[in-house]
Structure 1
Amino acid sequence: MPTKFRPCIDLHDGQVKQIVGASLSDSAPSTLKTNFVASQPPAYYSHLYRDNNLTGAHVIKLGANNDAAAREALAAWPNGLQVGGGITADNAQEWLDAGAEKVILTSWLFPNAKFDKERLLSLVERVGKGKIVIDVSCKRHGDKWIVAMNKWQTPTDMEVNEESISMLSEYCSEFLVHAADVEGLCQGIDEELVTNLGKWCHIPCTYAGGGKDISDLALAEKLSGGKVDLTYGSALDIFGGSGVKFADAVAWNRSRE
């Protein structure tokens, strides 16, 4: 099972942006560090991914004022993109009806920063595990990784380890893992985390955070045994980056088909 490049559309205030993950905060918006603001609308990226057969892309709504932009992205490639950000059991079906292939969940599963299994079960009952992606985005705490919610600002009571991944796997069809400490920094992937995800995950898993060079795809494939896919954000030339050419990432996927 080869590692693939998985693209993303990160939305902030209705625009496609690339943001340094650790700088996102509701309480201190002035600390926001933005690497890139697109002049193109969200649908432009949907069409780009569709035309290059890049499946499993995730559309992430970072905060308020992004619903219209997300709907535009989904409408441009119905059933071709996943959507996350503010998803709950009450609105999940609405987003699937709007054209999302799957819905991505984090913060809603952790009321008061504590994991609520009943919420997850209620969502499975409504839409089925095949439509659910769990985003176990995390921050390092010593030699562990702790799931972080609310734009990666609030640590929860869940450690990312073999036990938690195994338990969550029963109720979703894949994982998305943002390494919040390195997100948007283009300083390299968290190799230890990618290695562990390769050992722990037995369903599809996409890692995001720190990708800076096309060789990171081969590195992720080697570290995870091909079980973890990789997302590039700020390093990609289509997002103003200089580290990775979009055409090279597409070529990598074609070489792995």
Structure 2
Amino acid sequence: MTRFRPCIDLHAGQVKQIVGGTLDSETAALKTNFVSPHPPSYFTKLYRDNNLLGAHVIMLGPGNSEAAREALAAWPGALQVGGGITDKNAPEWIEAGADKVIITSYLFPDAKFSQQRLDAVLVALGGNKTKLVIDLSCRRRGDNSWFVAMNKWQTITDLEVNQESIKSLEPYCSEFLIHAADIEGLQKGVDENLVKRLAEWCSIPVTYAGGGRNLEDLEAVKRLSDGKVDLTIGSALDCFGGSGVTLAECIEWNNRQ
């Protein structure tokens, strides 16, 4: 059944909500919707106290490791962490309290998918795919095609998100996280076509993020995916400075499902 899933996005050591398409190395081009006065652990405790499971902590660029560790320590074994994860550091993040690690860019050297690197990550995790989430965050190409985007969603890879790629990756992970990077942070509604396709293609849990703005979008994702896809809402939430929906309303919505 579709659930609201929370997030903690970290940039330069702070909790922020960012327009995803502007997230590049030139900070002057960065469009930020919200910078929190609270530390990461504040949000973890908020999720913990309301039993909001499956939250992802994403480190957007360097300088976020300490903040991510703080977030994980506030609710050990409950949050997922991503951003700069490799076969070398994946076990460390599990030891630091992550329930699962989320991996994207490391799987795409020179923007080309590497099965060898995916295998290496699984070996590092002791072959335990329940500890691995594959992030297939993507950008749209044409009307109905999407390609994985890496390096803070700025580099388009050679991997198209479609039924074939999903089926080839499912044996190696326990779930997918997929941001629609073109509309991330814009609060203009979800990519309905992508949500529909994910429901058709995925047989393991999948969380969609991008454009979510209110309870109607939660209902839309539930309807479009027949309850198979979860939705993350970020910038529209009141706890992130938004006015589209409150965290309390999302919690109540989950409880009704």
The aligned amino acid for 2:12 is D
Identity across aligned pairs (percent)? Answer: 63
Matched residue, 1:20: 19
Please give the alpha-carbon distance, in whole angstroms, between the structure 2 residues aligned to 1:112 and 1:124.
21
Provide the residue aligned with 1:176 in structure 2.
Answer: 177
Q: Which amino acid aligns with 2:124?
A: R
SS in 1 for 2:194: helix
Q: Distance in 2 between matches of 1:118 and 1:179?
A: 26
Deviations 1:142-173 (A, max 9, x none): 13100000000000000000000111101000
Equivalent in the alignment of 2:190: 189
- Cα shift at 1:126: 2.0
> How is 1:45-56 mapped onto 2 (pairs within 5 angstroms)?
45-56=43-54
Asked whether 1:31 is paired with 2:32, we answer: no
1:133 and 2:133 are equivalent in the alignment: yes
Q: Secondary structure at the match of 1:202?
A: coil
Residues 191-215 of structure 1 show CA distances to partners (whole Å, capped at 9, x for unaligned) of 0000000000100000000001111
Between 212-221 and 59-68, the greater mean CA deviation after superposition: 212-221
Question: Aligned residues, how many?
Answer: 254
What's the TM-score, normalizing by structure 2?
0.98
SS, match of residue 176 in structure 2: strand
Shift of 1:175: 0.3
SS in 2 for 1:170: helix
How many Å separate the matches in 1 of 2:109 and 2:10?
23
Deviation, structure 1 residue 29:
1.8
1:243 aligns with 244
RMSD: 0.5
* 1:69-84 equivalence runs, <5 A: 69-84=67-82
1:40 to 34, 38, 41: 38
* Alignment of structure 1 residues 148-159 onto 2, 5 Å: 148-159=149-160
- Per the TM alignment, residue 117 of structure 1 is displaced from its structure 2 partner at its CA by 0.3
Whole-angstrom distance in 1 between the partners of 2:40 and 2:253: 24
Instruction: Give secondary structure in 2 for the equivalent of 1:147.
Output: strand
Consecutive aligned runs of 4 or more in structure 1 exceeding 2 Å deviation: none
